[in-house]
Amino acid sequence: MFILKILLPVMMIGSVYASSGSALYSKKCKSCHGKKAEKRAMGKSKVIKGLPVTTIEKDMHSYASGQRKSTSIVQKAKKDFIKKHNAKELRDLATYIHGL
């Protein structure tokens, strides 16, 4: 019983991180990048599935800032996305994508 009291909260915390990245991906990313991040968004971007977490985070910021070339629609969408989400949410999302 003692082990359950310790392990259950730890396991629940892990699922919260996964679900927040999962929910954010489903809501904001899946339509362009595919259910499992297997698609090239708008037929142009690289497939993001399995990329390192730091690369995913860096790419999100690069598109938002205009440092990476993209359409004005993509740049605005990424910029708005970055403004609305904090660093932890972006890390959770990148971690989720990496694990797909």
> pLDDT, tens digit, for every residue of 10-57?
444 443 444 589 999 999 999 999 999 999 998 888 899 999 999 999
How many other β-carbons are positioned within 10 Å of the β-carbon of residue 60? 22
Residue whose tokens read 């990424």: 78
Show the tokens assigned to 45.
């971007």
Q: What pLDDT, on the 0 to 100 scale, is given for residue 69?
A: 86
φ/ψ region of 46 (left if φ > 0, alpha if ψ in -120 to 50, else beta) reads beta
The CATH code of the domain that includes 90 is 1.10.760.10
Provide the domain limits for residue 22: 2-99
Instruction: Give the number of residues written for the chain.
Output: 100
Show the tokens assigned to 23.
């929910």
Domain count, the chain: 1
The phi and psi torsions of 44 (rounded to 5 degrees) equal: -120, -40
